Amino acid sequence: MSYPVIEPRETESNNPGRALAVVFPAILFVLGLALFTVAFNVGDAGPWVFAGGILSITLAFAIPTTILPALEDR
């Protein structure tokens, strides 16, 4: 069987890096949603908490899509 462009990864179910690649972004995503919710009730720190939520969700999507594949290619 030939693969046109991308070769499939050889995944190992016992690899702790794979579990971390799923759990850590999920935690960051939930943290970002929580920070968005809290940002409207903290007073003067609201814009900073909201920015933290944006950063948290940005990292939640960046880790599995850009950072980990770049580390795997090294």
16-47: pLDDT as tens digits: 667 777 888 999 999 999 999 999 999 899 99
Give a yes or no: residue 19 inside a domain. Answer: no
Cα dist from 34 to 1, 8, 12, 40, whole Å: 46, 35, 33, 11
Give a yes or no: residue 58 inside a domain. Answer: yes
Say what the pLDDT of residue 39 is. Answer: 93
pTM equals 0.70
Average pLDDT over residues 66-72: 75
Cα dist from 73 to 54, 56, 66, whole Å: 28, 25, 11
Give a yes or no: residue 13 inside a domain. Answer: no
Give a yes or no: residue 38 inside a domain. Answer: yes
Give a yes or no: residue 69 inside a domain. Answer: yes
Give a yes or no: residue 70 inside a domain. Answer: yes
Q: Into how many domains does the chain fold?
A: 1
Sequence letter at residue 54: I
Question: Which residues form the domain of 45?
Answer: 34-74
First-to-final CA distance of the chain? 26
Q: Please, which pLDDT band fits residue 64 given cuts at 50, 70 and 90?
A: confident
